[in-house]
Every structure is written in C-alpha cells, then in structure tokens.
Structure 1
C-alpha cells in the first residue's frame, strides 16, 4: 500500500500518517521527491485499509500496489519523473549527455577529459575515484584524492559530477564531494550500500547488474527509495550473455520495458556495454532512438595510457561525431538537449 501526499503537504501531515500506521503495528517508509512525498506502507494490508488514511490532511491518494517495487512503480506515479542534478535535468523531455574518464588519474587528465566532454555538449562529468575491479591487482582508483580532483574540475568547468560509491563506509565521504552517487553493476544488490545511499539524499545513478533481471534491478531501486530517496536514475550498462564479440550486450529493449514499469529516468552506457571505441557511437544512437533519457560515455585525452578501460574511451574526433549525432537524434525523437537550468546545488 502506498500513500501519495498532496503537493505542498506540510511535514506534520506526513508525521500524522506515519504515526497512525505505526500505532496500528505497521511500518511507514517516507520517500521524498522534488514535487511530492510518497509513503510506502508495510504490514497487514487489511488492517491498514481500515485506518482511513485518505481522510487525513495533506493526503492525496491511498492505493494498493500489486508490484513489489511499490515506490518506483508507475502504478502510483503514472507520470515519468525528472531528476535534477545540480540543475541538470534527466527525464522524458530531454537527452542528457554525461561524459568523462572512467577513472580519475591526475588533475591534468581529468580536466582535459572534462573540457573535451563539455565541448561535445556534455552537461555532467563522470569519473571514478573508487574502482571495483575484477582483478585485485588492477588499478583501484585514487580514493579521496580522486574526489578532490573531481571537485576542483567542477569548480573550473561548472560540470556537476557523478562518481561511484563501492562501500557503505564511504557513502558520507563521497557525498561531500559528488553531486550524484553511482552504484555500479557489481554492487547493484549490495543492499547495505543501497540503504545507506538512500538515506543521504543525493541523486543516485543505479546501474543494472550484469546478470540482473529487470525486476531485480527495480527491486534494487526500491531499496534506495524505501530509505527516503526517489531521486534515482536507472542505467542500462549491458548484461552478460553468451556472445563474446562485445564486452557486454546492451539490452536496448530494457529501456522501453522499464519506462512502462517505472517512473524513474533511464539512461544507457554504450561504453561499458560495447567495450570498444568503435561501438560507442552506434550504441549511443540506438539508445537515444529507443527512448533513453541520456547516455553516459567514457572520455580520455590519451586512451593508450589510460589506467582503466582505455579501449572504450572516446577521443576528440569521436566526440565530435557523437555530439552531432546526439544533436540530430534528440530533435528526431522530439526532445531537447539537457541544459543546466540553475546554479544551486542539488
């Protein structure tokens, strides 16, 4: 069962709903979006149905939701959501380009990547300070030093930053620097991490697990929403199949499927799915045409020297082609390129 509060409902109205549910032996999880508050209820549905929650001040509607992912489902939120990251919209009316180095290596490399991305029309900067790697001997990232570099580059370029969190212990530290927190494919079902990120209140990018079903992906998003954060962007980054020709298989069908099931924005990652520079442009085109709300790509000024995923990183010439394709296809699908609309932090 879900309670949707009216726009502008006062905090005491939310508290009254929570108090009534808890007095009846149930649990109430409050999730706050930009325009409304949604309360997910857990307990005996028949008993909760007798509480007359719809009659309380500030309550918009009370509905039974048949899916397990109650808060991110379109059953109670039919309109698709827009997530703003420091003024940059990600949602159904725009196509948002997010670009930057897979891993932060040096201040010079990160700034060069950011300027390349910005020149191509990117309105957000991605960069990894913590890198969960298959091999324990691979580059694991610079940690907090990488976060400081990203923050310095943001000051110089104005680009909001999204960066990955790999441990619940690092959530508060990363949130001090980042505008958006990323959950990578390997941590999609790290439930303690999902819950910790849900409590921080920063926008979240949740990548699909490489072997996850769509339902599992949405259930992972529900963990974040249940802890109070509805500012979630889903990222289809390729799933593992039997085909070895590409690093992963970009599941373009997941975009429209998820958009029918959930109100959350959905973007695609053509870099980590294809794993090769020459595949990024065609996969980006496919993502935009199928309805993705944005794309996230790897950029590097010297890919041959990259400490992580250099084979898929775009160089200046690639970005010029990508920029033209994004501009043309954005118009074709009836959207606008995302632009930063205000300067205040999220």
Structure 2
C-alpha cells in the first residue's frame, strides 16, 4: 500500500502520520521526490482502513500494491536509487564499470590487472577470492589469502573492490570490502540475504540461472526488508535451451527491471555468453537498453586462467572497449563514474 501526500504537507503532520503507521505495527518507507512524496506501508496492510487514511488532511491518495515486493517497487520509490560507494555512484544517470579477474590467482596477476583496469577507466576492481564452482574438483579460489591480496590491490590503486560472499558467517571477514556480491547460485540463499539486510554495505545481487524477474526482485526485497537500501541488481544471463552460448543474456530484463524497480541495474556480459568476443556487442546492447553499469572480466593471460579464461578480455581489449563504452554512455546521456 502506498500513501501519496499533498505537496504542501507540513513536516509535523507527516511525522504524526508516520507515528500512527508505526503504531499499527507496519514499516513506513518515506520517499520524497521532486514532484511527489510517498509513504509506502510494508507489512500486513489488509486491515488498514483506506477511508481513514484518505480522511487525513495531508493525504492525496491511497493505493494498494499487488506486487509482493514493496521496498524494491518503483511505486514505493518513484525516483531512481543511487548507490554511492565512497563517492563512486551507480544509478540515476551515473554509469560505472566493474572490472577484474574472475578469480584471484596470485599477487602478480591481480596487481597487473588492477593497474591496467584503473588506467582504462574502471570505477571498481572485482576479483573472486571464494569461487562457487559446479565441480568440486575445479579451482575454488585462494579464499582468505585471495581476499588479502584484493584488499592490498584496493590500497594500491584506491579502487573500491567487489567480491563474492558465500555465507553469512563471512560478513565480519568482509568488513573492508566495499561491495558484497551475491552470486547467481546464492540469489535465494535467504539466510544470507537476511544477514546482509542488517548491514549497510552495498550489495551486488546477481540473478539466478533460472529465476524469474519477480523472484529476482523478491531476493532484493529480503535485503531491503532488513533495512539495507543499497542494492544493485545484476543481470548475468539465464539458462535456456541454447547451447552455442554459456547463458542467454536477457536484455529485456533491463527495461523491465527499470520500470518495476528503482534500483540500479548492471549487466555482466562476460558470464552471459561465456565468449570474449561477445562482450563488446553485449556491452553496447546493455547501454542502449538503459543499464547503469557493466561488470567485465579481465585477465592478463586468459589462456592460462584458472577460471573462465574463455570469457575474459585482455587488458588491451578491455582498454579498447572502454573507449566505446564511454562514447556510448555519453550518447545515452549518462555520466561515467570514475574513482578519484
């Protein structure tokens, strides 16, 4: 349920209404935009008397929301959310590129890639320390040692870092990580999502391999319902019957998510196709569709990569791509975010 306030509503009367909503045992999501001020009611609103609300002198309209996701719903929050990570912004016209290796393999490897992606204009450094793999015999990442290397690369370059968290028991270990990534396999790890909701860390939430848009937004809702509004949605391709690509990039998810939700949307073209040469055309498509950023895998020696080398760009090809990305983002009226 949303309560639309009149433009001239006084703060004291708004506070009184918020207090009343709290007394009903409901959460109130207050959203003040340039044109409209909305209070979203979260909880069991079936017994709320809409006529009583409409009788309030500062209330313009009351509407019930049919979608099960509330905090993530654009009707609760008409303005685009901007997630600010140490001054680097994603959303509402700010376009960011997250780049780095699929998995951290050594200090030399990570240092080389971190320096190159920063020089090319990446706003964030990504790197997998803990790797959930389909096969138990595949490289699982350097784990805590990899996390230490990533933090060292952050200190060296100044780039905010993005890495995947596997369990709620790791939250304390990830204290100095700027953006916590929830991978596709963990999108419905509700125990993890609830704990992440208790933090204020920005969360990069990846869509599950076979998840619907509604299921995706409901996972975001778990985080936001816990009190953490800093969620970035990441479309990374879904499983279909097609076998010539690793996954099928659901480019339609971008405008659909932007219509249904106020959260920023990032595209991962590397995991979508699993083929390096397809990263560039899929990146162009993502920008044209209205995405707020890209997440791209870069490796200094893809042929020798321990994880996903076939989809990784070399630093040289990433640099060339960034020239295109900057031009196309500007054409779409977006501002490239860059650290420093």
TM band (smaller chain): 0.7 to 0.9
Task: Give, in whole Å, the separation in 1 of the partners of 2:209 and 2:265.
Answer: 16
Is residue 42 of structure 2 the alignment partner of residue 41 of structure 1?
A: yes
Greater RCO, 1 or 2 (C-alpha within 8 Å, sep 6+): 1
* 1:264 match: 263
Query: Does structure 1 conserve the Cα–Cα contact (< 8 Å) formed by 2:22 and 2:28?
Result: no
**1:113 match: secondary structure:** helix
CA gap of 1:162–1:121, structure 2 versus 1, over 3 A, is: same
- The farther-off stretch of 99-108 and 238-247 is 99-108
Task: Give, in whole Å, the separation in 1 of the partners of 2:103 and 2:31.
Answer: 32
CA gap of 1:2–1:166, structure 2 versus 1, over 3 A, is: farther
Query: Does structure 2 conserve the Cα–Cα contact (< 8 Å) formed by 1:298 and 1:313?
Result: yes
1:218-297 correspondence runs (5 A): 218-297=217-296
Is residue 305 of structure 2 the alignment partner of residue 306 of structure 1?
A: yes
* 1:160 match: 160
**2:181 match: secondary structure:** strand
Shift of 1:40: 4.6
CA gap of 1:49–1:192, structure 2 versus 1, over 3 A, is: farther
1:12-40 Cα distance to aligned partner (Å, 9 max, x none)? x69x94x755654x34377999xx99765
* 1:191 match: 190
Query: Does structure 2 conserve the Cα–Cα contact (< 8 Å) formed by 1:162 and 1:179?
Result: yes
Query: Does structure 1 conserve the Cα–Cα contact (< 8 Å) formed by 2:204 and 2:233?
Result: yes
**When the two structures are superposed, what TM-score results if normalisation uses the length of structure 1?**
0.86
* 1:128 match: 128
Aligned length: 332
CA gap of 1:46–1:88, structure 2 versus 1, over 3 A, is: same
Shift of 1:46: 2.5
Query: Does structure 2 conserve the Cα–Cα contact (< 8 Å) formed by 1:151 and 1:177?
Result: yes
1:288-343 Cα distance to aligned partner (Å, 9 max, x none)? 111111100001111122111111111022112211111221122121211236xx
Please provide the CA RMSD for this pair.
Answer: 3.0
Task: Give, in whole Å, the separation in 2 of the partners of 1:60 and 1:115.
Answer: 54
**1:172 match: secondary structure:** coil
1:252-308 Cα distance to aligned partner (Å, 9 max, x none)? 111011101100000100000110111111111111111111100001111122111
Task: Give, in whole Å, the separation in 2 of the partners of 1:179 and 1:31.
Answer: 26
- Structure 1 portions without partners, runs of 5+: 342-346
* 2:151 match: 151
- Structure 2 portions without partners, runs of 5+: none
**1:173 match: secondary structure:** coil
Shift of 1:65: 2.6
* 1:201 match: 200
Query: Does structure 2 conserve the Cα–Cα contact (< 8 Å) formed by 1:109 and 1:301?
Result: yes
Task: Give, in whole Å, the separation in 1 of the partners of 2:149 and 2:55.
Answer: 49
Task: Give, in whole Å, the separation in 1 of the partners of 2:277 and 2:319.
Answer: 14
CA gap of 1:124–1:53, structure 2 versus 1, over 3 A, is: farther
Query: Does structure 1 conserve the Cα–Cα contact (< 8 Å) formed by 2:113 and 2:315?
Result: no
**2:159 match: secondary structure:** coil
Query: Does structure 1 conserve the Cα–Cα contact (< 8 Å) formed by 2:31 and 2:77?
Result: no
